[in-house]
A and B are shown apart, each in its own frame.
Chain A
Amino acid sequence: MANTDVMAQIDEQVKKHKIVIFMKGTPSFPMCGFSAATVQVLDSYNVPYASVNVLENPAIRENIKHYSSWPTIPQVYINGEFVGGCDIVREMHANGELEPLIQAAVKE
């Protein structure tokens, strides 16, 4: 079941940061291959981004799935919008769709 307090917390993180990744571990020490691969893509743009370690916050780990109707971690949000998980972010990076999103987010 979704918890409204935690959902509000997640919403605040998503709205507060231009780019935020909910992941397992941290960008310096990812604890999962999918999180690591996604961080690698974000790092390649050399722009600041926020991260939330869901392993340190089980309530966020559970509720983020309801927040985005997306059952897996990592999850990337840009300008308050859910962009995708590992596969989609890597695909958008490869086909050039991700860069304009990121550039627009950091320019504002």
Chain B
Amino acid sequence: MNTAERIEQILRETLAATVVEVEDESALHVGHAGAASGGGHYRVKIVSPLFEGKNQVQRHRMVYNALSAEMQRTIHALALTTLAPSQLASA
């Protein structure tokens, strides 16, 4: 399983996410100092009922907490879009 697939699996399990879209953008950051540590850059869109009633900081913290082990090793940076199911109708 690659990192993108692992991100998806973890978020579906820990945040009961109904939608997880992971794009690996590591190639865009090759050569930048932070990328030298080996961690990748990922753009992730998540829809989770647990985000309902939470602000963006709280939602992003939930994602970072769920992925904390990966953040130490295989993830250098995440670009996050966090939506509650109720926002999908209007989005």
Residues of A within 8 A of B (CB): 24, 31-34, 55, 69-72, 82-88, 91-92
28 contacting pairs across A/B (C-beta < 8 A): A24-B33, A24-B34, A31-B32, A31-B33, A32-B34, A55-B33, A69-B61, A70-B60, A70-B61, A71-B64, A71-B71, A72-B64, A72-B71, A72-B78, A82-B57, A83-B57, A84-B57, A85-B60, A86-B79, A87-B56, A87-B60, A87-B80, A87-B81, A88-B56, A88-B57, A88-B60, A91-B56, A92-B56
Chain A, residue nearest B72 (CB)? A71
Residues 58-91 of B at the A interface (beta carbon under 8 Å): 60-61, 64, 68, 71, 77-81
A interface SS class: mixed
Residues of B within 8 A of A (CB): 29, 32-34, 56-57, 60-61, 64, 68, 71, 77-81
How many residue pairs bridge A and B at CB < 8 Å?
Answer: 41
Minimum distance in angstroms from A68 CB to a CB of chain B: 9
Which residues of A are found within 8 Å of B56, using beta-carbon distances? 84, 87-88, 91-92
| CB-based contact B77/A72 at 8 Å | yes
